[in-house]
Amino acid sequence: MAAVENVVIIGSGPAGLTAALYAARAGLEPLVVAGFQAGGQLMLTTEVENFPGFPDGIMGPELMTRMRQQAQRFGTRFIDADADEVDFSGHPLRVKAQGCWIDARAVIIATGASARWLGVPGEERLRGHGVSSCATCDGFFFRERDVVVVGGGDSAMEEALFLANLCRSVTVVHRRRELRASRIMQERALNHPRIRFIWDTVVEEILGDDRVTGVRLRNVQTGETRDLACDAVFVAIGHQPNTAIFRGQVELDQDGYVRMYPGMRTSREGVFVAGDAEDRRYRQAITAAAAGCKAAMEVERWLAEQPLEPTAPADAAAARDGR
């Protein structure tokens, strides 16, 4: 490992790996702290049909393996562990992984987000076999079929509206009688002829052996349970940005997303961000990859503008640590 890395990229989904590819080809020899579950959310999907360049589709894990190989080909190095802690209070910036501190001139945060799941029986087992958290990714597999969407926020309405163009029927199951979604999204969903709503109801279990065949519902007012046949369940109860280690280090918004400033910058000089860790709106592999590309280009420019280090970096770190 270099005494001070040019750039450490935290995360190895499409944003992190594209940032690595661009940084590596720019001669920055990036180091990727890839995460314990390397590859990000695409490792949990099956076939990806909307990533340009793969007319026959590609499996999510294979796409990520290829992205990693491509970044590696130009000299990217990987640590297959989580970043446990960061210290962005001075320069060099510091990232801790596998018990060791890594010093870096620049950092790209690309830790992504994780879908929230219901945590009910059947959900994990049938993920990729009818249980999904992304209609844009998986809706197409269920065209002319009956699907359930769980949730009452904008994401759920968006998923339901997207699916209503493809599926025979869409049933939104919401735990209250009132939607959380914005008025306009509510109206669109409520007025759509192929979307119906089941209120005051939770999904207690997702049914099926090797693919989803239905859901067990419970009305929270009456306690009554019943089974509803369906071919897929789209869970849209929100996402959680993976940003816990950055709290107090860079500005986060009220939901924990990294606040991004022009030039893919964060509130901390030298720390950049790309992908779902800051983007709650698009959340696509292709948009994350594009963001990773932009962040790497911004890092390259930013590093070129920096004056040469006044002190040897190792000395600076030692001085800060009181060593």
Catalytic residues: 134, 137-138
- 115: Cα within 13 Å, side-chain hemisphere: 27
Stretch that binds ligand NAP, among 43-51, 67-75, 205-213, 231-239 (CB under 6 A): 231-239
> Which of the ranges 9-17, 99-107, 134-142, 150-158 carries the binding residues for ligand NAP, by CB under 6 A?
150-158
Q: What Cα–Cα distance (Å) separates residue 191 from each residue in 126, 163, 175, 179?
A: 31, 14, 20, 14
Q: Which is nearer to ligand NAP, 253 or 309 (by Cβ)?
A: 253
Nearest C-alpha neighbor of 108 from the set 14, 240, 239, 3: 14
Residue from 190, 280, 286, 316 in contact with ligand NAP (CB under 6 A):
280
| Nearest to ligand NAP of 77, 116 (CB atom) | 116
151 binds ligand NAP (CB under 6 A): yes
Q: Could you tell me which residues are beta bridge partners of residue 240?
A: 114
155 binds ligand NAP (CB under 6 A): yes
Q: Does 190 bind ligand NAP (CB under 6 A)?
A: no
Applying CB under 6 A, which of residues 96, 175, 192, 216 lies at the interface with ligand NAP? 175
Any residues with CB less than 8 A from the CB of 215 and at least 6 apart, and which? 148, 173, 203, 204, 205, 206, 207, 227, 228, 230, 233
How far is 67 from 289, CA to CA, in rounded Å?
10
- Asked if 13 touches ligand NAP (CB under 6 A), the answer is no
Return the residues of window 73-112 that contact ligand NAP according to CB under 6 A.
none
Q: What is the DSSP letter of 166?
A: T
Q: Pick one of 128, 153, 256, 313: the residue that binds ligand NAP (CB under 6 A).
A: 153
Candidate list 5, 82, 138, 154; residue touching ligand NAP; CB under 6 A: 154
The least CB distance from residue 156 to ligand NAP, in Å, is 6
Stretch that binds ligand NAP, among 69-77, 175-183, 204-212, 261-269 (CB under 6 A): 175-183
Q: What number of chain residues touch ligand NAP (CB under 6 A)?
A: 17
End-to-end, the C-alpha distance of the chain in Å comes to 20
Residue 294 CB, shortest distance to ligand NAP, in Å, is 22
* CB-closest chain residue to ligand NAP: 153
- 158 forms part of the interface with ligand NAP (CB under 6 A): yes
* Element (DSSP H or E) covering residue 169: strand 169-173
* CA dist list (Å): 19 to 71, 108, 198, 299: 9, 8, 43, 9
For 140, other C-beta atoms within 10 Å of its C-beta total 16
d(CA 156, CA 10): 29
| Residues 174-195: b if buried by 16+ CB within 10 A, e if exposed | beeeebbbeeebbebbeeeeeb
Among 96, 180, 188, 218, binds ligand NAP (CB under 6 A): 180
* Least Å from the CB of residue 147 to ligand NAP: 16
> Angle between the 60-73 and 14-25 helix axes, to the nearest 10 degrees?
20
Footprint on this chain of ligand NAP (rule: CB under 6 A)? 118, 150-156, 158, 175-176, 180, 202, 237-239, 280
